[in-house]
Amino acid sequence: MSETAGGPSGAGPWAASGAGNLIVVSAPSGAGKTTLCRRLLAELPAIEFSVSHTTRPRRRDEREGVDYHFVDREAFLAARDRGEFLEWAQVGDHLYGTASQAVRRVVERGSDVLLDIDTQGALSIRRLEPEAILVFILPPGPEALRSRLESRGSETPTTLARRLELARGEIDRAPQYDYLIVNDDLEGAYERLRAVVLAARCRRLRQEARRRAIAARFGTPGA
For the chain, the 3-state helix, strand and coil shares in percent, each to the nearest 5, are 45, 20, 35
The C-alpha atoms of residue 79 and residue 176 are separated, in whole angstroms, by 29
pLDDT at 204: 87
* pLDDT, tens digit (0-9, with 9 covering 90-100), for 71-111: 999 999 999 999 999 999 887 789 999 999 989 899 988 89
Q: Is residue 188 part of a domain?
A: yes
The CATH number of residue 138's host domain is 3.40.50.300
Name the more confident of 132 and 163.
132
**Number of domains present in the structure of the chain:** 1
CA-based torsion, 58, 61, 63, 66: positive or negative: negative
Residue 16 has pLDDT above 70, yes or no: no
pLDDT at 1: 35
pLDDT of residue 11: 42
Maximal CA-CA distance, the chain = 68
Q: Structural domain of residue 65, as residue ranges?
A: 22-215
* pLDDT value of residue 56: 92
The average pLDDT across 51-68 equals 89
User: For residue 17, what pLDDT is reported?
Assistant: 58
The answer to the question of residue 221 being in a domain is no
Mean pLDDT computed over every residue of the chain: 86
Q: Which stretches of the chain are assigned E, i.e. beta strand?
A: 22-26, 47-49, 53-54, 69-70, 85-91, 94-99, 112-116, 133-138, 179-182
Once rounded to an integer, what is the mean pLDDT over residues 140-156?
79
Residue 148 to residue 31: CA distance in whole angstroms? 8
Mean pLDDT of 48-59: 92
Please report whether residue 220 resides in a domain.
Answer: no
193 pLDDT above the threshold of 60:
yes
Confidence category of residue 14, pLDDT binned at 50, 70, 90: low
| Res. 62 pLDDT band, cuts 50 70 90 | confident
- As a whole number, mean pLDDT of residues 173-199 equals 96
Q: Is residue 80 part of a domain?
A: yes
Report which of residues 92 and 38 the model is more confident about. 38
pLDDT at residue 35, rounded to an integer = 92
Asked, for residue 39, whether it belongs to a domain, the answer is yes
Identify whether 15 is part of a domain: no
pLDDT at 184: 92
